[in-house]
Structure 1
Amino acid sequence: MTAEHLTEADYETIARELDSLRDEITADLGDRDSAYIHNVIRLQRALEIGGRAMLFASALPPAWIAGTATLTVAKILENMEIGHNVMHGQWDWMRDPKIHSTTWEWDNVSPAEQWKHSHNFVHHTFTNVIGKDNDVGYGILRVTPEQPWHWANVPQPIYNALLAMFFEYGVALHDLDIDSIRAGENDPEETKEKLRAIGRKIARQWAKDYVAFPLLTGPQFLSTLAANFTANVARNVWAHTIIFCGHFPGDVEVFEEEQLEGETRGEWYVRQLLGSANITGSRLFHLMTGNLSHQIEHHLFPDLPSNRYAEIAPRVRALCDKYDLPYHTGSLRKQIGSTWGKIFRYAFPGGSRPTASDPGPAPEALPAPEPVPVA
């Protein structure tokens, strides 16, 4: 672990500094933040309406391509910058019942309530703790040498490609806790109820994307059906790519369950720093990732509005420099290469943890603190 040099006093100071940063941002939330999320929602809805309208002429290749691309962007925005972040409670401070973590149901086959438990609670509490955080390999991938190897890992690059294409279904099954089912430790009735909820959500999503909207386009039914399927797969691949590149590239660290015993707030913060990675890019790129390209800042402050992550990133990086902690960051191409490289390598026995990572761009090269213009 690269934080072994930290003292108890260091952890206490880190906790105070990050708590102070959080309090500062929370106290500053106001009209510009509210305007940001409302503008993003308006943009997303306009893109979805425009994309679906173009698909009324989907028999024509240019209209099919334009409509599918526009619908894909709308679905990415809804899932990542809106749905994911609203359900994290990032906008609950506005007390708007229409944009609230308790009421939002996203355009995804994963039921919101199950996702909030598996993601908001399990993953963000036990980030990268083997045996506690089901996101480490999603139950089917060996992504670190600390995980035991099995012959079933050999074809895992194929598993990962399929997971990317149908990522929303993998996410939907996440809260079932497959490991507990395999071990016979689950509550069968609870599992059945979760499966029924997943089935109902899948039925609603399929009825919308693969029946209702294609039927509305009349003779364009099949081409619209294909467009909706393509948009969903493209959205899934993009979400999978961004999420995996925020958790598994380079020398991002994993932790043993024993390290949770007596964990202080400062130690929790440091575990988030060591177990996350950022992706560099433009302000538009950050918007399209749901600002999960600032995965480090998101893991530190999961319920702070996402439009503030670019603003606080230089200060988080400066804190890492101050305490000689790594700040994992790199381009999308670098992070994709590193992540897939690990998936191929750890498909086979053995493997060792990387010893160095790209330091990434200098703090001053990070995005400006202004919110992304969306209207």
Structure 2
Amino acid sequence: MKFTGKHESKGTLVGKNQPYLGDKLQVNRKPKANGKVEDHVKQEANGKLSLSGKSLNRYTWQEIQQHNQEADQWLVINRKVYNITNWIHRHPGGRLVLQHYAGEDATDAFRAMHLDLDVVRVYLKPLLIGELAPEEPSQERNKSSQLVEDFQELRRSLEDKNMFKANLGFFSLHLIQILILEAVAWLLLWNLGSGWMVTILVSFLLTISQAQASFLQHDVGHLSIFKKSKWNHLMHKFVMCHLKGLSANWWNYRHFQHHVKPNIYPKDPDINTGPLFVLGDLQPVKYGKKKIKYLDYEKQHLYFYIGALPLLMPVYFNLQSIQVMFIRGYWMDIVWVSSFYIRYLITFGTFYGIFGTVLLIYIVKFLESPWIAYVTQMSHLPMKMGQEENQDWVSIQVLATCNVEQSFFNDWFTGHLNFQIEHHLFPTMPRHNYHKVAPLVRSLCAKHGLPYVDKPMLKAFGDIVRALKKYGAIWADAYYTT
């Protein structure tokens, strides 16, 4: 199938009010009234469908699940079957995000990750090849259809309540906070000079600024803060590249994989930490039985303090961002990231010189690193990890995440990522609404017997180390006894 990348300026997938991709979805039901609905689908006597003159086949789940190889990939969205084989390399979110759902129902993942459905419809149109046979369920048979239906009903109700509408003022205040912290740091140097005490205070202010910029870029990377997508795109470049000095594209492709398949090995890049750490119940056994010992993993909970905590931001993320930018040719990101270093040299070079300014940058990243490491790992690393089980969207997200108790400080310190369960279920929901939907999500989990884990922050920090110690012990047992 060839796809040119062109589309009609006024086109949609089938019709503007076609039921299977719009905001007004009702799975296995009639679409809600939203103007006139054009009936493009006519059933033919031969068992095929005619869609605007195009003949479409019907498929069973058994047939669809066979198309999950790198050179042959199908997926299902709202009972429609798409051949994505030739599209994955053009997917703005990266090919692996789609590849992870090959042969599966991707309805909830698709809806969770996309903001502008009208645009996406246009790009899906040439990929449509058929639909599920009428006797087939909307999801694979091993999934809980009632849980899926309840979750989709919850999402519709949240959309009706405008829970996905971002408050521009809220995010503007966070941006102002970041800029004020940097301005105060510069003013301190300008008025007091670059002595040791002032430098320590400047580093402290810049560390807070950088950490809050990390949370803001996370928001902009997921959300539609502005009405026009080009402004969201530019804002993400500004915050991630210009304020943080990291590639926006690198973050997108890595982070979106984490969202669609969290804690699933090897699909989630956040748990592909070998050879430094072995995580979960399966990877330690695999390494142990193969006698793999790059490091003494039985002590990984100890070297986490001297390795992962201080080096995550200045070494691992920074070098990986640079590597990806140059290898994949993200030239616009390179220009934006260069502006980060130029800005620091202009602002602080007068006081510290070139070498001193570069050193200041990495001291700040070094100080920021434990903050970000704790916040990002506390909600995932102690939770369920394993290989692909083809579970429904809700189960995947809830079992792989946990929350940290709400307080004003916890919300600010974590950038509202203490509501990790809600964030993973609804990645495009603005964080200022997480606390409003948390009780509804908790009720959904209780109804279907899913654990809704909410813990104190210090316990969440400690659980990181306890989990690493547990995984290291599993490795040692497999390494020394098999």
Tell me the TM-score range normalised by the shorter chain: 0.7 to 0.9
- Call closer, same or farther: CA 1:116–1:276 in 2, change over 3 Å: same
Aligned ranges for residues 1-375 of structure 1 at < 5 Å? Answer: 8-26=144-162, 29=165, 33-56=167-190, 57-80=192-215, 82-93=216-227, 97=231, 103-106=237-240, 107-120=243-256, 122-139=257-274, 140-147=276-283, 148-149=286-287, 150-154=292-296, 156=300, 157-158=302-303, 161-168=306-313, 169-172=315-318, 192-193=327-328, 205-209=340-344, 211-217=345-351, 227-249=360-382, 252-257=383-388, 259-260=389-390, 267-350=392-475
Match of 2:122? Answer: none
Larger radius of gyration: 2
Normalised by the length of structure 2, the TM-score is 0.58
Residue type matched to 2:188 in 1? M
- State the 1:328 CA deviation: 1.7
Tell me, in whole angstroms, the C-alpha distance in 2 between the residues paired with 1:39 and 1:212: 25
Residue type matched to 1:51 in 2? A
SS in 2 for 1:144: coil
SS in 2 for 1:16: helix
Stretch deviating more after TM superposition (322-331 or 94-103): 94-103
Tell me, in whole angstroms, the C-alpha distance in 1 between the residues paired with 2:339 and 2:434: 34
SS in 2 for 1:69: helix
The answer to whether the 8 A contact 1:294-1:309 is kept is yes
- State the 1:242 CA deviation: 0.3
Provide the aligned C-alpha RMSD in A. Answer: 3.5
SS in 1 for 2:303: helix
The answer to whether the 8 A contact 1:109-1:198 is kept is no
More strand by share: 2
Tell me, in whole angstroms, the C-alpha distance in 1 between the residues paired with 2:202 and 2:221: 28
Q: Deviations over 1:242-296 (max 9, x none)?
A: 00001112xx212422x23xx5xxx112210111111224223312312111111
Tell me, in whole angstroms, the C-alpha distance in 2 between the residues paired with 1:175 and 1:68: 23
Q: Deviations over 1:196-239 (max 9, x none)?
A: 88877776545544x443322268x8876655433221222211
Normalised by the length of structure 1, the TM-score is 0.73
Q: Deviations over 1:15-74 (max 9, x none)?
A: 2243224413536736xx121111111122111111222133353444333322222111
SS in 2 for 1:38: helix
Q: Deviations over 1:138-181 (max 9, x none)?
A: 34321212213331242534266323223234235668999xxx
Higher relative contact order, chain-length normalized (CA < 8 Å, sep 6+):
1
- State the 1:301 CA deviation: 0.8
Tell me, in whole angstroms, the C-alpha distance in 2 between the residues paired with 1:205 and 1:191: 17
More helix by share: 1
The answer to whether the 8 A contact 1:15-1:269 is kept is yes
- Call closer, same or farther: CA 1:48–1:304 in 2, change over 3 Å: same
- Call closer, same or farther: CA 1:347–1:12 in 2, change over 3 Å: closer
The answer to whether the 8 A contact 2:213-2:239 is kept is no
Question: Which residues of structure 1 form unaligned runs of 5+?
Answer: 1-5, 179-189, 353-375
